[in-house]
Amino acid sequence: MPAAAGPAGPAGPPALTDAGLPALLAERGVPGLVDLHTHFMPANVLAKVWAFFDEAGARTGRPWPITYRTDEAERLATLRSLGVTAFAPLAYPHRPGMARWLNEWLREFAARTPDAVPTATFYPEIDAPQYVEEAIEAGLRCVKVHVQVGGFDPRDPLLDDVWGLLAQAGVPVVTHCGDGPNRGAYTGLGIFEEVLARHPDLVAVLAHAGLPDYVAALDLVHRYPGVHLDTTMVGTAFTQAFAPLPADWPARLVDVADRVVLGTDFPNIPHPYAEQVAAVVGWADADPRLGDPFLRAVLHDTGARLLGR
Ligand SMILES: [Zn+2]
């Protein structure tokens, strides 16, 4: 795989860099980036996440260097310099008793960060419906659920009311429920589909486009009106190495062009932010039925619609 972002080859355009992003957006008529999948969390939690990625490299043989390992103020300045005008800061618990505290931090973070929407997370526990309802009343615009890290069953009866509340409120739920990059006890799109079958109006955003089961994820988009795919790490050199997209991926997006939304995993990514945008540009340019309208929808419009921005 090429080390630089963007289409490679002697006749191709120059690789897209972070510094070149604002110019690309202006050229392609994209009014700004709306990133539905970033991570902001309390400093001690983020330090543990970064330590996990550091160890993951040694454990899996796939090094995962964090490209944007800087303090919070600098990370926010970086996002703005890239052309990001709105984003969802996501956090998630790995054990019970943690979500309510994370949600308090997220509420405070959104209150002091005008381009961040209010977000929350949950875990199967007795007070989950209560704190999710409180978050909805406080203006919640996006939720993160991490089935693999949380190690819980999304079909847990303790969560039935939570899914119902979120479906009724129409709040997008970014759900990491695919089998990649790591399988969990309750990962797999087949398991999550049982949640969708019970709550067919749920606005579920399948994180990483369901990686590695992209085709099954597209199938859910076709069958449930609220299901979307986020682009997080999809089509980058890192994931193409172990979970490559089908060769006809751009053609498969034609019928679902308004259900694909930019996500990146910023700042916890092993590549420049521009590499994610370059992947989307590559899909847009690979099929004349996609092109600039698709690019604008993915990078801006669909995220703005989902986040209410
Ligand atoms: Zn993520």
Q: Strands, DSSP E only, in 25-163?
A: 33-39, 84-90, 119-121, 142-146
Ligand 1 center to 288 CA (angstroms): 30
Q: What is the rounded CA–CA span in Å between residue 28 and residue 147?
A: 36
The pLDDT, as a whole number, for residue 2 is 41
Q: What is the helix (H) or strand (E) element at residue 176, kind and residue range? A: strand 173-176
CB neighbour list of residue 230: distance below 8 Å, 6 or more residues apart? 36, 37, 174, 205, 206, 207, 208, 209, 260, 261, 262, 263
51 C-alpha to center of ligand 1: Å?
15
Residue 10 alpha carbon to ligand 1 centre in Å: 34
How far is ligand 1, taken at its centre, from the CA of residue 92, in Å? 9
Report residues near ion ligand 1: CB below 5 Å: 265
pTM: 0.94
Residue 267 near residue 89 (C-beta atoms within 8 A) = no
Confidence (pLDDT) at 13: 59
Q: Which residues pair with 260 in a beta bridge?
A: 229
> Could you read off the pLDDT of 181-229 as tens digits, one per residue?
889 989 999 999 999 999 999 999 999 999 999 999 999 999 999 999 9
Please state, in angstroms and rounded to a whole number, the distance separating the CA atoms of residues 66 and 50: 7
Question: Rounded to 5 degrees, what angle do the CA atoms 140, 269, 105 make?
Answer: 30
Residue 71's CB: how many other CB atoms inside 10 A? 9
Beta strands in 177-225 (DSSP E): 204-206
Q: How far apart are the CA of 94 and the centre of ligand 1, in A?
A: 13
- Tens digits of residue pLDDT in 10-43: 455 568 999 999 999 999 999 999 999 999 999 9
Question: From ligand 1's centre to the CA of 233, what distance in Å?
Answer: 9
Nearest by Cα to 233 from 261, 210, 264, 271: 264
Taking the alpha carbons at both ends of the chain, their separation in whole angstroms is 36
- Cβ distance 88 to 37 under 8 Å? yes
CA of residue 36 to ligand 1 center, whole Å:
10
- Rounded to the nearest angstrom, the distance between the alpha carbon of 82 and the centre of ligand 1 is 19
CB 91 within 8 A of CB 62: no
Looking at this protein, which amino acid is placed at residue 202?
L
Confidence label for 61 from pLDDT (cuts 50, 70 and 90): confident
Percent of the chain with pLDDT over 70: 95
Distance, CA 303 to ligand 1 centroid (Å)?
16
Longest CA pairwise span in the chain (Å): 59
The answer on pLDDT for 170 being more than 60 is yes
Q: ω into residue 7 within 30 of 0, thus cis?
A: no
Whether the predicted pLDDT of 9 surpasses 60: no
**Residue 59 reports pLDDT greater than 90:** no
